[in-house]
Amino acid sequence: MKRFAYTLFACLLISLSSCLEITEQVRVRENGSGQFTFTVDMSEAEPLLEMVKGFSEEANPDQVSSDLKTGMEDAHQRLQSVKGIHQVALIRSDNGLLSGITFEYDNIDALNKAINVVQNNKPELQEAYFAWNGKQLHRLNTLKIENEIRKKTGSDLNGLDLTVNGKSMKEMMNSMVYRTEYTFDQPIKSISNSNATLSADKRKVTLERYLLDDTRKANSLENIIKL
């Protein structure tokens, strides 16, 4: 999914921190099945995209929308053949700058395979994102989409000095956030990541990871959630 990763990167370059939101939502039922939703929201970047679209093909709102749509449609098609994955549906806003995918999974093994399909475009990969033993969910610090973004920033922005609206290139890149939200049917007893937040009803855990800023405390997705 290199084109998809580059689309995220292109939007980041011409936007501010609030213009890009990547969200991973997982509902886990007591039997280990559940629902997974993955969305990329660039809606707030639309005015900036319109402003600079004459300077870059990747900054054209229509091109960004098309790339997001293509990436998610490809994932939708590939998920049809993943065992244990059902009710796959696309998510898309009217302006095309919010795109995503949602599906039901039978177990954690199926979920891990499906995430590899959605984020990597490589169904043969065996990367583990989650582990489940019936009493706790372990979210590993795995996020393969970050590798493509890091490669692009390393090759294209090495030594580049640029400031937009008072923010340096480094500040803009370091503000890219990957948000995780995990919901359970039963109350949560404890969470291992001190940067995660627990809802008042103790059934939802939220954590934001800054993809390119290694200096921030909230820079790991790893979290052991005990029920």
Considering only residues 95 and 110, tell me which one the structure prediction assigns the higher pLDDT: 110
Tell me the domain boundaries of the chain: 2-226
- Distance from the Cα of residue 93 to its chain's centroid: 17
In this prediction, residues 20-37 reach a mean pLDDT of 93
The answer on pLDDT for 86 being more than 70 is: yes
User: Could you count the other beta carbons within 10 Å of the beta carbon of residue 178?
Assistant: 17
pLDDT tens profile 212-227: 655 555 568 899 999 9
> Stretch 123-143: mean pLDDT, rounded?
86
For residue 203, what pLDDT band results from cuts at 50, 70 and 90? very high
Q: What percentage of the chain carries pLDDT values higher than 90?
A: 40
pTM: 0.77
* pLDDT for residue 137: 97
User: Mean pLDDT of all residues in the chain?
Assistant: 76
